[in-house]
Amino acid sequence: DIQMTQSPSSLSASVGDRVTITCRASRGISNFLAWYQQKPGKVPKLLLSAASTLQSGVPSRFSGSGSGTDFTLTISSLQPEDVATYYCQKYNSDPLTFGPGTKVDIK
Amino acid sequence: QVHLVQSGAEVKKPGASVKVSCKASGYIFTNYGFSWVRQAPGQGLEWMGWISAYNGNTNSEPKLQGRITLTTDSSTSTAYMELRGLRSDDTAVYYCARASGLIADYWGQGTLVTVSS
């Protein structure tokens, strides 16, 4: 099975900072990658699919890139409401494995 | 608007089974599938399986195969996840999500399943 890793596991940044989270697949998955945001105590929310397609209603400060094995989620200007854990998930084939998550908070 | 409402919290003894329901509304039920995802306390998301509401095709996480059954009932627009042989490490919040292709685009509110003797 393809394994998913994320780095860093957690980060602390200031409001307005640019934040980048990396997701890596152990084998190529083309662009079959989604990103989810889970705020504390809340239900996960889909942010992006196909590695870079922003879901309707998601702020444009979120963006994604990558293909094959290496992917990034970028928050261009971190806001207090972005405090959350972010997960990547591959969906090219089952099992549809999630990454372990990256916890983002405000410095 | 898309809405997924899950059944309420459950407490089960080790070895028992649990069946969680997920009632969908706001879209054509058979045009999408359902993914099931769980989250143990303080842990990350774990994909459990997927079912097509169109034809009932399923896939599941290999380590759960033999214990998990996914079904749908189009007459009530409801998806079900049954997990058998419960163990303490099955204690988690269980989520259903509408699957657009294989992408979980709308999520239910979650169902806490506690396994304890």
Is pLDDT of B65 > 90? no
> What integer pLDDT is reported at residue A48 of this predicted model?
98
For residue A96, what are the β-bridge partners?
none
| d(C-alpha A51, C-alpha A60), whole Å | 15
Taking residues A76-83, report their average pLDDT: 98
Torsions phi, psi of B111, nearest 5?
A: -130, 120
Residues from chain B contacting residue A42 (CB–CB below 8 Å): none
Q: What is the mean pLDDT of chain B?
A: 97
Q: Does A72 touch chain B (CB under 8 A)?
A: no
Residues of B in contact with A101 (CB under 8 A): 44-45
Rounded distance between C-alpha atoms, residue B8 and residue A51, angstroms:
34
Distance, CA of B99 to CA of B75 (rounded, Å): 19
Whether residue B79 has pLDDT greater than 90: yes
Q: B97 forms bridges with which residues in the sheet?
A: B35, B107
Helix (H, G, I), strand (E, B) or coil at B13: coil
Which pLDDT does position A106 carry in this prediction?
Answer: 97
pLDDT tens digits along B83-109: 999 999 999 999 999 999 999 999 999
| Nearest residue to B111 via CA among B86, B88, B96, B93 | B93
B1-29: pLDDT as tens digits: 999 999 999 999 999 999 999 999 999 99
Residues above pLDDT 70, as percent of chain A: 100
| CB-based contact B56:B50 (threshold 8 Å) | no
- Nearest of B32, B47, B27, B93 to residue A43 by alpha carbon: B93
Instruction: Name the closest residue on chain B to residue A102, using Cα atoms.
Output: B44
CB contacts of B104 in chain A (<8 Å) are: 34, 36, 44, 46, 89
The whole-number pLDDT of residue A26 equals 97
pLDDT for res A5: 98
Beta carbons of B114 and B22 less than 8 angstroms apart: no
pLDDT for the residue numbered B51? 98
Q: How confident is the model at residue A15 (pLDDT cuts 50, 70, 90)?
A: very high
SS3 content of chain A, % helix, strand, coil (to 5): 5, 50, 50
**Residue at B91: amino acid letter:** T
3-state secondary structure of B11: strand
CB-nearest partner of B103 from A34, A43, A85: A34
Q: What are phi and psi of A58, to 5 degrees?
A: -85, 130
The answer to whether B59 contacts chain A (CB < 8 Å) is: yes
Average pLDDT of the segment spanning A50-66: 98
